[in-house]
Structure 1
Amino acid sequence: MESCLGIGVGDSFKVFFNPSFREMGGFRFLEHMSDALIEAWGDSFEEAYVEAAKAFYELVSSMKDVEPKFERMVEARGRDLQELLYDMLEKLIILFDSEGFLASKITVEELKLGEGENYLRLRLLGEPYDPEKHRHGIHVKAVTYHLMEIKSEDSKKILRFLLDI
């Protein structure tokens, strides 16, 4: 069993996983000196992008206590998969900063991948952040292209990205 250092509210925590941890979709927080380095994966790009969005929401609060009361749609575009991921995360940050919106359920309504033209539409169900109800997480200032990587490995789609906190 391997371990990696994760990030959390307050002190760091260790995340343990075995080498076959990518059997289904998920995400993990990787060690980084000052920012949030995240790896998300899935059997498809749809699943991997949803897991990346879940990682964002787990960082800023927690999806556990969020009720699916309201719907928001997020549309992202990019010339390549990295730009698509960047645009999606940037729009999630803006949605959280402007409305305090937390998601409890995230689904891909549409994903079009093409040379020089990619489009993603996410359906988010959730509610506004309530400090009496929701955990206060880490404030995300921005997404960055630094250390961003998107690859296919053993039939898995893997997204690695850094959030400036």
Structure 2
Amino acid sequence: MRGERELRQLFDKEAGVLRRFLRRFGARVSPEDIARDGFLRLCAAEARQIVSPRAFLFQTAKNMAIDALRRSNAAPYRAVESIDLVPTAAHAPSPEDHCIAAEEAAAVRAAIAALPELERKALLMRRVELLPPAEVAAALGVSERQVQRLVLKAIAFCHARLTAADGGASAP
């Protein structure tokens, strides 16, 4: 570590020049903070490794100012990227959307309720509970291939029921 007296002399001599140098980086950089932090880094550095304390100080301060600029330039972009995640009135579902969704959910529940019991159980176990075909087959006492057929038949039945309820329009 350098002598305290030597560092004090360097600070007294170079602090003003260093702050003026740092003001070139603009308003997003705090010259006082960076100058202080630069001197702290100089104090913490090994004296024998530094040939020119003044050059070390200015280079360190320059690097810190550039880092501060990068951070300040990146911050607005993060904020803009996340703004799409904030729900707005234009993106919020309207009361009409809520009613339509409730009607569609009721139609799906009615179609599932109208399924034969084995098909309904196979569909719910595979698509709602996300059980593997082997577990569904064991629970229902059928083969895995039969589980696949039951689920496909149930989906076709529900699709036909929902399409008929929608006036013949195909579902998306």
Higher relative contact order (CA closer than 8 Å, sequence separation 6+): 1
**Larger Rg, first or second structure (1 or 2):** 2
Structure that is richer in helix per residue: 2
Scaled by the length of structure 1, the TM-score of the pair is: 0.22
